[in-house]
């Protein structure tokens, strides 16, 4: 099982406080259930510590503090015009807010085109943009990418012929720092544009998402070495891959000015 899929399984499991708390309470009760033994008492001690840490991590104050921390390295928006607005998919529940942010940026004439990226999410994002009044001619994208690295690679492959260098990158606050690092590694000049997380997300879900992204930022140097093959892949081959999978959104991308 790859690390990306494993991280989402981990996130889903720990995002359910009832499941986590009852599991830890069961471990805490083991010495009473099976007679007290030294190793069981150690398990109880660790479980109590983990329970305290978990309750702190999922608390709203910690989530607010962690969110502020992960966006602190991001530069403020200089309000300059760029070549394209790029939206990264993160799941259906987050798509409306991303479309809202990109629509507002487009109406402010920050860029001539909006590019949507992400398997399953790109077609829906494009549709949401059209319902918000963005002309279809100004919407482009790809629905092949499964990871943030592929988001960046496929975006570059599609937009390279349009000389797109400067972009406004739209995604949620936990995801932005890592996404910015990856897109800059692909040669883009990136201005971050924060999109709110879905109101449906609970405090534990937000906490686990933040922890996942902090971990990925810490592991970024290692991941960069692992993704060298992706970075060195000829873009013409990526274009062929997108064409073969028929996941291109829009037939043309309007030339950036």
Residue ranges per domain, the chain?
A: 3-57, 75-200+227-249
What are the distances in angstroms from CA 170 to CA 19, 44, 114, 138, 232?
33, 44, 10, 16, 25
Mean pLDDT, the chain, whole residue set:
91
Determine the Cα–Cα distance for residues 215 and 232; give it in Å rounded to an integer. Answer: 25
pLDDT for the residue 36: 63
User: At 127, is the secondary structure helix, strand, or coil?
Assistant: helix
Report percent pLDDT > 70 for the chain: 95
Helices (runs of H) and strands (runs of E) counted in the chain: 12, 6
Model confidence at 255, pLDDT cuts 50, 70, 90, reads very low
CATH number 3.40.50.620 given to 75-200+227-249? yes
Q: Name the least confident of 30-34, 70-74, 162-166.
A: 30-34
Query: Could you tell me the pTM of the whole model?
Result: 0.90
Burial class (CB in 10 A: 0-12, 13-18, 19+), 230: middle
Matching residue, tokens 């809202």: 100
Closest CA to 201 of 95, 93, 97: 93
Given a cut of 90, whether residue 254 has pLDDT beyond it is no
Burial class (CB in 10 A: 0-12, 13-18, 19+), 42: exposed
């Amino acid at each position: 099982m790859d690390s990306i899929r494993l991280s989402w399984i981990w996130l889903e499991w720990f995002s359910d406080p009832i499941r986590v708390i009852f599991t830890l309470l069961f471990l805490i009760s083991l010495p009473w259930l099976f007679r007290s033994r030294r190793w069981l008492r150690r398990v109880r001690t660790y479980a109590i510590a983990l329970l305290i840490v978990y309750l702190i991590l999922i608390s709203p104050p910690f989530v607010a503090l962690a969110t502020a921390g992960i966006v602190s390295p991001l530069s403020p928006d200089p309000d300059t015009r760029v070549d394209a607005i790029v939206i990264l998919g993160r799941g259906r529940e987050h798509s409306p807010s991303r479309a809202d942010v990109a629509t507002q940026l487009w109406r402010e004439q920050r860029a001539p085109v909006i590019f949507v990226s992400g398997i399953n999410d790109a077609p829906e994002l494009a549709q949401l943009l059209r319902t918000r009044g963005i002309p279809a001619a100004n919407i482009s994208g790809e629905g092949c990418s499964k990871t943030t690295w592929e988001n960046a690679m496929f975006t570059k492959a599609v937009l390279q012929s349009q000389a797109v260098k400067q972009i406004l990158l739209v995604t949620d606050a936990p995801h932005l720092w890592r996404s910015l690092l990856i897109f800059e590694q692909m040669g883009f000049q990136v201005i971050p544009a924060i999109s709110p997380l879905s109101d449906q997300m609970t405090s534990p879900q937000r906490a686990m998402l933040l922890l996942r992204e902090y971990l990925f930022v810490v592991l970024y140097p290692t991941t960069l070495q692992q993704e060298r093959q992706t970075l060195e892949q000829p873009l013409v081959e990526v274009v062929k891959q997108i064409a073969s999978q028929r996941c291109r959104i829009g037939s043309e991308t309007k030339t950036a000015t």
